Amino acid sequence: MSKKEESLGLEPEFDWLQLKQDIDSRVNQETTREKFVRKFKENPLVPIGCMATLGALSYGLWSFRQGRRQMSQYMMRLRIAAQGFTILALIVGIGLSATKK
């Protein structure tokens, strides 16, 4: 702190860092697992949709590698449907949480 700032009684330039540390020490920090469980409980359809998308994509790619073109096409279409379901679940979840508060 400069002498001018001391004489005027001004706070140091980086006082916001101390404020952030004070706030962070009071806020309950949750782990990644706790956050996942909380989010899953709030909107369980989004992770289910993500798993369905991943399953359809994986099986579709495996079918493509095996040379089963028709099953691969079917799984890619199923993947698109699962992605649509996930987006819809996300939008509905956001709408419900917005109306709750």
66: domain range?
Answer: 48-101
| Residue 89 exposure: Cα atoms within 13 Å on the Cβ side | 18
**Residue 85 falls within a domain, yes or no?**
yes
**Residue 75 falls within a domain, yes or no?**
yes
**Residue 13 falls within a domain, yes or no?**
no
What's the structural domain count of the chain?
Answer: 1
- Residue 3: predicted pLDDT: 54
Task: Give me the tens of pLDDT residue by residue for the chain, a chain 101 residues long.
Answer: 555 555 555 555 667 777 777 777 666 778 899 888 888 888 889 999 999 999 999 999 999 999 999 999 999 999 999 999 999 999 998 898 888 86
**Residue 31 falls within a domain, yes or no?**
no
Distance CA 13, CA 5 (A): 10
**Residue 79 falls within a domain, yes or no?**
yes
- Residue 65: predicted pLDDT: 95
Q: What are the tokens at 57?
A: 């994509």
**Residue 67 falls within a domain, yes or no?**
yes
**Residue 33 falls within a domain, yes or no?**
no
